[in-house]
Structure 1
Amino acid sequence: MAREPKIERFNQDVLSKYQIYNSIFMTLPFDKVTNTGVLLPLFKEVCDKGFAEKQTPTQIVENFFELYQHNPNDEEKNTLLFRFIQYIERQVVLFDAIEDAAFTKVNNMVGRGTLRSLKEEAAEKGLMSTMKEFLKTFKVRPTLTAHPTQFYPGTVLGIIRDLDKAIRVDDLLTIKRLLAQLGKTAFFKKEKPTPYDEAISLIWYLENVFYHSVSSIYNYIQQNVFDGETLDNDIINLGFWPGGDRDGNPFVTTEITLKVAEKLKTSILSNYYKDIRKLKRKITFGELPEKINDLEHQLYQNIYYPSKDSVFTLASFEAELAAIRVALIDEHNSLYLKDLDGLINKVNLFGFHFGTLDIRQDSRVHHNVITEIIKEVTAAGLGIFPDNYEELSEDEQMKILSKVSASVKPEDLKDDMARATIGSIYAMKKIQAENGERGANRYIISNNGSAKNVLETFSMVNMCGWENPTLDIIPLFETVPDLEVADKVMEQLYTNPQYLAHLKRRGMKQTIMLGFSDGTKDGGYLMANWGIFKAKEALTEMSRNHGIKVVFFDGRGGPPARGGGKTNQFYASLGPTIEDEEIQMTVQGQTISSNFGTIDSCQYNLEQLLGAGISNELFTNPTKIIKEENRETMQELADISYKTYSDFKAHEKFLPYLERMSTLKFYAKANIGSRPSKRGSSSELKFGDLRAIPFVGSWSQLKQNVPGFFGVGTAIKAFEDKGEFDKVLTLYKDSIFFRTLLDNSMMSLTKSFFELTAYMQKDPEFGPFWDIIHKEYLLTKRLLLKVSGFDELMENEPVGKASIQIRESIVLPLLTIQQYALKKIQDMQRTGEIDKDTFEVYEKMVTRSLFGNINASRNSA
């Protein structure tokens, strides 16, 4: 029997079940306000009708109270609105759990882009040997970050997981209990999490999801592509940022870094311990039980009573498992060999480190640290730097930086930041000694704009007495100007004798990170993506000319405005002009829970990423190569879009609008992440201090999604106006890359809802500015439909669109409440009549509304 269309499976297994379970949820008595569950659907109806009739959020809320409440006072009104927020937050959780439970029914786990599908296609076309050779070196590396784009505390994530299981089997009694539990479980965090708290939250995914799905994929490839042969390539390895990402986070200390590394080690050992205990129940013959008992004991000791004198190392663990394997084959007819091989594969994949802890810091911090170190070591007469270093030319300084060799210890330094920065390098050495080289072997430099930035970091590494350091230095290019010179910066490094010697020791491989989030914030949607594409091309060509394998590490967020959207499709669109032996990317916030939150979704999405790489290598597609005439069109579109966005960004009302009309400042009050919500300590808002997440998030909360489309419509209209629209159509038809960009922009437009903020059009100060945004939205929507030939946005993605529509419908009352509270705050500030207690209530209302709105966007990637 043929499978039903995907949209029908979605309607049956997601939409219908949500309607059923939501009706149960709405009848559960878990709050002190009578009939909240009955009133919320009525409020939703008033919102729908009100926006259709062009009412303001304030009018909608007041109309609701007039229709369904008997002269409530302000306290009663606010109490009910908070209860609505409480219900809606949990409706989003319920929908998440239902989507998770239906994942394997809605998505074809052996369909297009999966390993089984690609293997069959390769076999049919006689390309199995090519596929095999490719998989000997190709890798996918998701790096989990603690960037705060997800608001679920660990307790709620646990409920989602339990709901998922109960919904899969329609266990109504358990579902009711879990929904009742959900109703009483707090979402709001009274205190900001520490970096260690964030690490613990994400290690949960490593232990419960990635450990199983990554090894399952590896086992499949080993058995079905390599016919059981030993595979000397981990294929999927994991990166980890919480506890190592110091960029703008003063709370990440050397002690935290070491503590997180220790937790990663004990976590992976705990998973091995569970697997050893399972093996112990099966391998009960010969002399093997004694060997397994000994491994069980050693794992237990190293988890709960670790000792510096322990002789239990990764090498000894691997050797013992290998000895058991030989005995199983030689003496016991390979009984339970597959189970043992599964554990051996996990040990090869995860070692004693689980995920590689990356260290990251800003280049400007490094420069200040170097300046302080030079002052101190010069004053101490250590002779590491010449006395006139600051007076030398940049070229002369770079020569000195590349040749530095010393032993400077953190305790030798007086400056706090210098101590912390040098301390982080010593921490990497310590982690490698205890967790293996893969424990921490990457140092990332944010805001990298020059070769000197890299050599300053290189010199600090060499100051730590680390001979032939086993780490990679990774520059992160973020802004449009930095992307334009990235290849020239790297060529300076490749021709530097000392840095080249370092690369030779590291296998002539250079990892380069590119920032989609800050790139979009800086240059707008089209220019950021095109700028990164061109930078990758230039870096690929130049690196190949120097005999260096370049690896690109993409700093991607969840929504299209931060490099998210259809990630797998994006990688599948890259052609041979871009090095693609590895796919490395950050995964953060709701993208972790939506794409990698369950074993099924994690395995599916990792396979899709692997499939993108395999497809690029095996199956030639001419639409992946952008023709010269199309490149000219793309460049002109990007240039026009960039100017449009830059002019918009320079508008005198741009920052005041964000500061006073959006939720920007409320991110700092939400206690969702350990990192401050902006750079710098100035009370005055500066564009350069804005972080990408609250910046993009604030536009999302307004349902305007500016970073995902602004400038796109104007750029295409320029071609329409001069009678060259056919050039855009040709680019769209010929280039998968461009089609993917427009598809992702459509997602941003689909999630926009200008009726929510239409009241701002009449605002005496910000009305004209709101008009600018709205007109660009309408223009972009019209022209994207014209280019694509669609009658409606996301016409080619009915399931994705349906999921978005349901989620947007769920949170519409929440958005209405948030705008109502924001308007109350704005009115008080403008009149100067501020009642402190009332003001704080409305601020809390706005902040609490952040949670559900962001969580509802988890399908953004």
Structure 2
Amino acid sequence: MNLSKKQAVFESEVVTRFELFNSLFMTLPFYQVKHTGTLLPFFTTHCEHGVADKMDPEAIIESFFGQYEQYVRESDRIDLLFRIIQYIERQVVLFDAVEDAAFRKTGRSDEAGLLDSVFKQTENNKELRSKLVEKLNDFSLRLVLTAHPTQFYPGPVLAIITDLIEALKTNDIHNIHLLLQQLGKTPFMKKNKPTPVDEAVSLAWFLEKVFYPVASGIQSKIEDEFDLPADENRQLVELGFWPGGDRDGNPNVTVESTKRVALLLRAVLFRCYYRDFRILKRRITFKGVEKYMDVLQDRFYENSFNPSENPENEKPVIVHNLKEIKRVLTDYHDGLFVELVDDLLRKVKTFGCFFATLDIRQDSSIIRQTHAYLRKAYAERITIPDNFEQLDEVGKQQALKFEEHDLAPGKDASALVADTLQVIRLISGIQQSGGERAAQRFIISNCQQAYDILELMELFLWSGWKTESLHIDFVPLFETVDDLKRAAAVMDRLYTHPQYQAHLKRRGNKQTVMLGFSDSTKDGGYLMANWSIYKAKIELTAIARQYDVDLVFFDGRGGPPARGGGKTQRFYASMGKEIANDHIQLTIQGQTISSQYGSLDTAHYNIEQLLHAGLTSHIEQRNGDTLSTDKKELIEYMAQISHGRFLELRHNPLFLKYLEHFSPLKFLSQINISSRPVKRNADRELRLEDLRAISFVTSWSQLKQNIPGFYGVGSALKQAEQDGKWEQVKDLYETSRMFQTIIDNCMMSMSKSNFDLTSHIQHDETFGAFWKEMRDEYERTTEYILKLSGSKVLMENYPVERASIALREKIVLPLLIIQHYAIKKLQKGKLNEKDQEVFSKLITRTIYGVVNAGRNLA
């Protein structure tokens, strides 16, 4: 489908239908203030004109009230703004539903990137097909769902969206009308802050409703296409889970919440099994299967509705009985309904008794504290020198003896130390009830030295684990630019450490390394972050190959390009021969979960895109994907320029003050969307290094400036041109899919920017010059990116996405005006306590709709 046709289809299937159903929605009398639905279009148009005229948000709103004073009494003005927010929140949901309902028609799913194209490509080429089958035997995709402060939709709203999508697909007007009424009356907000377990419940909705059928369906599709035997040890699509296990910086995650989440995942999974089993039971009513059916009925029902606090691993029993049913059907009943048994059997082999692997994550500083505590508390039992802390890194590595003990924390242990030691013991119990894959990874954040990993390994052995049965993968997380630089050296020391070598051998010589995008972008800027991670992957791959280690990269990617998101699959498709790419693992966060994996169609498409990227990078490497020395030097040159430009901005004393003054940063902690704080070290004054990357990026996106997603790129490209390197840069863009993706994702960030919204700041005595500096870099980057890509507008080659972004930005513009209006009112400091609370609430309420509409803004 060509670009113009795609646009036409999007216009008819999405834009026109949204306008049609939106007009129906706007006439529904949901709220107390009259004329809200009638006034909203006028308010939107007024905001658009005001922004185009570079008016102050306060002036925009005050002039609107003056123009429509006959409809809105002065006492109703603030109430009207709240009602407008409520309408727009639901408009966003409606647009999401319309767009997802039309997903198969809008031209995205016919892009190269689906598995069918791989099947077709290899069907007449035996050599290529054999190569692909070989790859499938050692390839996997792991999607890890993470707790995130921008996952806004509560369960009831997600259910409405799901039903609305299906009604829209069939143009069921009556049902659509009822669902819109339900949507209008269903609360979007939570009264209380969620706990880690609450977050797990929210994300389990996606596991149950989407990933359970889609992951097993894709597994079935590939097994059938290549006639691969079902193998429970080879799982193509794996699922991971962080809520309840990710305690890095989240003081609310405890060993109790970890246990409760593990039990929750199991219970949700068995409910899925039980629903499938009831279909099986209704069809398979033949002689010879009764006793097997009875066993399964008991196992599925009890684990679904009467779960034990200390359950057993039921997988072997379930698999055995399903196989026996299949045998009876094959031998005595002509194989009738055997496909239903195969489907459930495949799901049980895929998800076991755990559904998704529960990862545990903690900061290296806590690991060190815990190790130090046990050394002191059990000095008479542990063979470690008293001067351990004074030793250099090599000395510390040599001092670790990896003795087996059973050391419990005493009453004098701090909460974090006690939790660390308790969760190490809990992992063993989770493995016993769900199998090894239920909880097999411990991720060490802020990993700076090899002994960070080795100390953790020793903590396991000091907590009752045995060397020969230490079924745990120790995963270092490298995230800042400096950490990425020394990552290869850290792994080199680990690979040559005798005890760790032996442990890796028992784990199949497979090592997972996590690379984080969020803090590297905050630390080094967009281009340097992307390049630092790419360089680290090359260096880490070289070290791993030197020691014959099967390296797995686990990418901590957020939703927006500034945090590693965007067109993720294209990064994996562009990995050259120097980068290990046999397995793809990445986090999925925030509204990206609901936008890319919120429906069966979108989840199926996006999972297939990632699978396609991994498979095709193996069978058809492009010449430009493996960068030459000259091209590496060119990217390094531009990354350094971009990095310097970003640091100039970041080190400006106004940088953080600007963000605090004009963005809703300080209000993020007031909304009931996350169990974790906005920043680390919450008890001290805000510092940039403490600010979580999520909050950092979200604040810039609410300003519609998206600094982390582009700043410095324009300066780098301009300098390259001035230094006579422009033709080399053009060649790099045309030949390297990795660099193309960096630039294309940069365009996406910029398409969601609107400096006109904040143009009034240029007249501010304190911040005016600072704003102009950022605006100038935006315009510079726009000019040079368009020149490099040969485009007339940003995202010209992605007309559907560009049109979607434009319409979404139009929908939420009034929210941004209201937000900035309220911020300015509070800044003036002339409000009484009650009004301060009201305007603060206005700000927090606008954040939801803006992020949800952006789909990958935070």
If the TM-score is normalised by the length of the shorter chain, which range does it land in? Answer: over 0.9
TM-score, normalised with respect to structure 1 = 0.97
Query: What amino acid does structure 2 have at the position aligned with 1:613?
Result: G
Higher alpha-carbon deviation: 408-417 or 688-697: 408-417
Matches within 5 A, 1:566-585: 566-585=567-586
CA shift, 1:586, in A, is 0.1
Instruction: Give me the whole-angstrom Cα distance separating, in 2, the residues matched to 1:453 and 1:74.
Output: 62
Matching residue of 1:782: 783
CA shift, 1:679, in A, is 0.1
Instruction: Give me the whole-angstrom Cα distance separating, in 2, the residues matched to 1:321 and 1:645.
Output: 59
Instruction: Give me the whole-angstrom Cα distance separating, in 1, the residues matched to 2:253 and 2:399.
Output: 30
Matching residue of 1:725: 726
CA shift, 1:163, in A, is 0.9
CA shift, 1:642, in A, is 0.8
Matching residue of 2:844: 847
- Contact residue 566 and residue 740 of structure 1 kept, 8 A: yes
Instruction: Give me the whole-angstrom Cα distance separating, in 1, the residues matched to 2:191 and 2:383.
Output: 48
- Contact residue 312 and residue 432 of structure 2 kept, 8 A: no
Instruction: Give me the whole-angstrom Cα distance separating, in 1, the residues matched to 2:697 and 2:418.
Output: 34
SS of 1:29's partner is coil
Q: In angstroms, what is the RMSD of aligned CA positions?
A: 1.8
Matching residue of 2:135: 134
- Contact residue 595 and residue 855 of structure 2 kept, 8 A: yes
Matching residue of 1:248: 249
CA shift, 1:402, in A, is 5.4
Instruction: Give me the whole-angstrom Cα distance separating, in 1, the residues matched to 2:665 and 2:855.
Output: 20
Matching residue of 2:397: 398
CA shift, 1:73, in A, is 6.1
CA shift, 1:652, in A, is 0.6
Matching residue of 2:356: 355
Query: What amino acid does structure 1 have at the position aligned with 2:797?
Result: N
Query: What amino acid does structure 1 have at the position aligned with 2:590?
Result: G
- Contact residue 708 and residue 748 of structure 1 kept, 8 A: yes
Matches within 5 A, 1:32-431: 32-70=32-70, 75-107=75-107, 109=109, 112-126=112-126, 127-226=128-227, 232-307=233-308, 313-378=314-379, 381-401=380-400, 403-411=402-410, 414-431=413-430
- Contact residue 313 and residue 435 of structure 2 kept, 8 A: no
CA shift, 1:292, in A, is 1.6
SS of 2:29's partner is coil
Instruction: Give me the whole-angstrom Cα distance separating, in 1, the residues matched to 2:311 and 2:254.
Output: 27
Matches within 5 A, 1:655-804: 655-804=656-805
Q: Deviations over 1:652-694 (max 9, x none)?
A: 1011111122111111011111011100034411111000111
SS of 1:237's partner is strand
CA shift, 1:218, in A, is 0.5
Matches within 5 A, 1:528-539: 528-539=529-540
Instruction: Give me the whole-angstrom Cα distance separating, in 2, the residues matched to 1:682 and 1:231.
Output: 48
Say whether residues 1:479 and 2:476 are aligned partners: no
Query: What amino acid does structure 1 have at the position aligned with 2:852?
Result: N
CA shift, 1:309, in A, is 8.8
SS of 1:529's partner is helix
TM-score, normalised with respect to structure 2 = 0.97
CA shift, 1:53, in A, is 1.8
Instruction: Give me the whole-angstrom Cα distance separating, in 1, the residues matched to 2:648 and 2:221.
Output: 52
- Contact residue 142 and residue 587 of structure 1 kept, 8 A: yes
Matching residue of 1:546: 547
Matching residue of 2:10: 10
- Contact residue 657 and residue 766 of structure 1 kept, 8 A: yes
CA shift, 1:175, in A, is 1.3
Instruction: Give me the whole-angstrom Cα distance separating, in 2, the residues matched to 1:402 and 1:57.
Output: 64
Instruction: Give me the whole-angstrom Cα distance separating, in 2, the residues matched to 1:189 and 1:302.
Output: 30
Cα pair distance change 1:424/1:74, threshold 3 Å: farther
- Contact residue 111 and residue 117 of structure 1 kept, 8 A: no
Cα pair distance change 1:714/1:4, threshold 3 Å: closer
Higher alpha-carbon deviation: 290-299 or 671-680: 290-299
Q: Deviations over 1:136-164 (max 9, x none)?
A: 11000000001122211112111111111
- Contact residue 375 and residue 382 of structure 2 kept, 8 A: no
SS of 2:405's partner is coil
- Contact residue 373 and residue 413 of structure 1 kept, 8 A: no
Aligned pair count reads 855
Cα pair distance change 1:430/1:660, threshold 3 Å: same
Say whether residues 1:455 and 2:454 are aligned partners: yes
Higher alpha-carbon deviation: 703-712 or 681-690: 681-690
Instruction: Give me the whole-angstrom Cα distance separating, in 2, the residues matched to 1:90 and 1:695.
Output: 26
Displaced runs of 4+ in structure 1, greater than 6 A?
A: 1-4, 308-312
Cα pair distance change 1:455/1:74, threshold 3 Å: farther
Matching residue of 2:835: 838
Query: What amino acid does structure 1 have at the position aligned with 2:508?
Result: G
- Contact residue 54 and residue 757 of structure 2 kept, 8 A: no
Instruction: Give me the whole-angstrom Cα distance separating, in 1, the residues matched to 2:401 and 2:835.
Output: 59
Cα pair distance change 1:3/1:825, threshold 3 Å: closer
Instruction: Give me the whole-angstrom Cα distance separating, in 2, the residues matched to 1:43 and 1:309.
Output: 57
Instruction: Give me the whole-angstrom Cα distance separating, in 1, the residues matched to 2:221 and 2:429.
Output: 35
Matching residue of 2:439: 440
Cα pair distance change 1:229/1:818, threshold 3 Å: closer
Cα pair distance change 1:412/1:333, threshold 3 Å: farther
- Contact residue 446 and residue 478 of structure 2 kept, 8 A: yes
Query: What amino acid does structure 1 have at the position aligned with 2:844?
Result: T
Higher alpha-carbon deviation: 226-235 or 284-293: 226-235
SS of 1:239's partner is strand
- Contact residue 280 and residue 293 of structure 1 kept, 8 A: no
- Contact residue 366 and residue 456 of structure 1 kept, 8 A: yes
Query: What amino acid does structure 1 have at the position aligned with 2:645?
Result: T
CA shift, 1:4, in A, is 9.0
Structure 2: tracts of 5 or more residues without a match:
none
Instruction: Give me the whole-angstrom Cα distance separating, in 2, the residues matched to 1:71 and 1:179.
Output: 25
Instruction: Give me the whole-angstrom Cα distance separating, in 2, the residues matched to 1:310 and 1:718.
Output: 63
Query: What amino acid does structure 2 have at the position aligned with 1:779?
Result: R
Instruction: Give me the whole-angstrom Cα distance separating, in 1, the residues matched to 2:719 and 2:710.
Output: 16
SS of 1:88's partner is helix
- Contact residue 442 and residue 472 of structure 1 kept, 8 A: yes
Instruction: Give me the whole-angstrom Cα distance separating, in 2, the residues matched to 1:612 and 1:724.
Output: 31
- Contact residue 199 and residue 243 of structure 2 kept, 8 A: yes
Structure 1: tracts of 5 or more residues without a match:
none
- Contact residue 92 and residue 807 of structure 1 kept, 8 A: yes
Instruction: Give me the whole-angstrom Cα distance separating, in 1, the residues matched to 2:253 and 2:543.
Output: 36
CA shift, 1:397, in A, is 1.8
CA shift, 1:390, in A, is 2.5
Higher alpha-carbon deviation: 729-738 or 790-799: 729-738
- Contact residue 517 and residue 692 of structure 1 kept, 8 A: yes
Say whether residues 1:856 and 2:828 are aligned partners: no
Cα pair distance change 1:857/1:58, threshold 3 Å: same
Q: Deviations over 1:578-624 (max 9, x none)?
A: 10110000001111111111111111111111000111011131121
Query: What amino acid does structure 1 have at the position aligned with 2:301?
Result: Y
Q: Deviations over 1:801-847 (max 9, x none)?
A: 0110010000011111111111111222xxxx342111221111111
SS of 1:124's partner is coil
Instruction: Give me the whole-angstrom Cα distance separating, in 2, the residues matched to 1:292 and 1:11.
Output: 52
SS of 2:245's partner is coil
- Contact residue 361 and residue 445 of structure 1 kept, 8 A: yes
SS of 2:555's partner is strand
Cα pair distance change 1:337/1:4, threshold 3 Å: farther
- Contact residue 40 and residue 84 of structure 1 kept, 8 A: yes
- Contact residue 136 and residue 232 of structure 1 kept, 8 A: no
Instruction: Give me the whole-angstrom Cα distance separating, in 2, the residues matched to 1:488 and 1:632.
Output: 21
Instruction: Give me the whole-angstrom Cα distance separating, in 2, the residues matched to 1:157 and 1:234.
Output: 28
Instruction: Give me the whole-angstrom Cα distance separating, in 2, the residues matched to 1:396 and 1:291.
Output: 59
Query: What amino acid does structure 1 have at the position aligned with 2:660?
Result: E
SS of 2:131's partner is helix
Instruction: Give me the whole-angstrom Cα distance separating, in 2, the residues matched to 1:75 and 1:576.
Output: 67
